[in-house]
Amino acid sequence: MGPSEIITSIPEKYQSALSSTELRFFPSEIHKVEDFGVEFEVRLCPALQEKLEPKAEARATSAAATGKPKPFLPPYSPNLYVGDLALEDEDGTSEYIVLLNKFSVVPHHFLLVTKEFQPQTSPLFPSDLVQIYQLLLAARQENRHFIAFYNCGPNSGASQSHKHVQFIEVANGGPPVEKLTRTANLEVSGKPFAIPSLPYANHVYRLPALSTDSTPAELRRILFPPLLSLLDLVISTVRHDPDYPSGLPSYNIIMTLEHIHMIPRWHETYILEDSDTTINVNSLGYAGMLLAKSNSELEQIKKVGPGKILRGVGVESVHDLQVAGLSLEVDGL
């Protein structure tokens, strides 16, 4: 299958999986919360309290003990399986499968998974970026709007250890933080930038307009250097914090047709003040979309503010220092 066939088949596959009861949909309602110049969307979904998932490590241990296959390796559930994708480029052939998300809060939520096991701690490779962008382009051709996101590392909110990128359908204007990013006036195009009004380290690259006629080689050439520059900034950011844990950094990636966002992470969860309530945050939180599992949790998020929660699981911005360091390098000092 090609990206266009994948996108066009998603609605029917989703309805079929929903009818089979193998895919579970959790109804929700969106509440808007203004904070730091962003109209955050907090999705209230009480039904999620029924879904108590263990950590990825615990699931892996359980699967090994019981002999039960991992969800992203064959045999795939025919009700959740959408199709195969393959990309041939200078590195050879990269193969993927597309699966519907078994636990869906937003309809048509699907996953792009490497066919062979790769760890969720590995960065996105050129072939990954090309495949992601081709799916986003195919959706736009159908007048539908998706964003892709990748939770990389143990503190990023990743729920599975097998490398997978997630896609959710959004409104035409995009998610809340993307709307803010779109208003940024860039003094220099073709360079990473930050949204200074956000209270946490964030690194963004504005992409040029690309069409469905772009070849994989062209997409690779245009998309991969920005990703590397953003990853360099993430590594630089965590190195400025003497208390950041050693080892590979955790981070979130949000990708649209217009921007790549990369946000370094320190903690996976935020414990709300004066309570034992834990808020799990993945890439969608940094897109401006948080999740509350009860009315009391929703009210606590409103009280604390989404910005403080995201700063609590993120890292302090050192963008000014990074820009100053770059200026020194340019000046040869």
> Which one of the listed residues 162, 164, 203, 259 is annotated catalytic?
164
CA dist 160 and 106 (Å) reads 19
Terminal-residue alpha carbon distance, the chain: 53
Cα dihedral: 260, 151, 194, 270 (round 10): 150
166 forms beta bridges with 111, 149
Amino acid at 215: T
Antiparallel, parallel or unpaired: β 259-265 and 203-206: antiparallel
Total Cβ atoms within 10 A of residue 30: 11
CA dist 300 and 116 (Å) reads 42
Number of H helices, E strands in the chain: 9, 15
Three-state secondary structure call for residue 196: coil
Closest CA to 280 of 105, 117, 148, 125: 105
Helices (H), 144-282: 176-182, 216-239
CB 197 within 8 A of CB 36: yes
CB 250 within 8 A of CB 263: no
Residues 6+ apart with CB under 8 A from 170: 145, 146, 147
Find where tokens 């245009």 sit. 222
CA dist 78 and 22 (Å) reads 10
219: left (phi over 0), alpha (psi -120 to 50) or beta: alpha
164 noted as active-site residue: yes
Q: Which residues form the catalytic set? A: 164
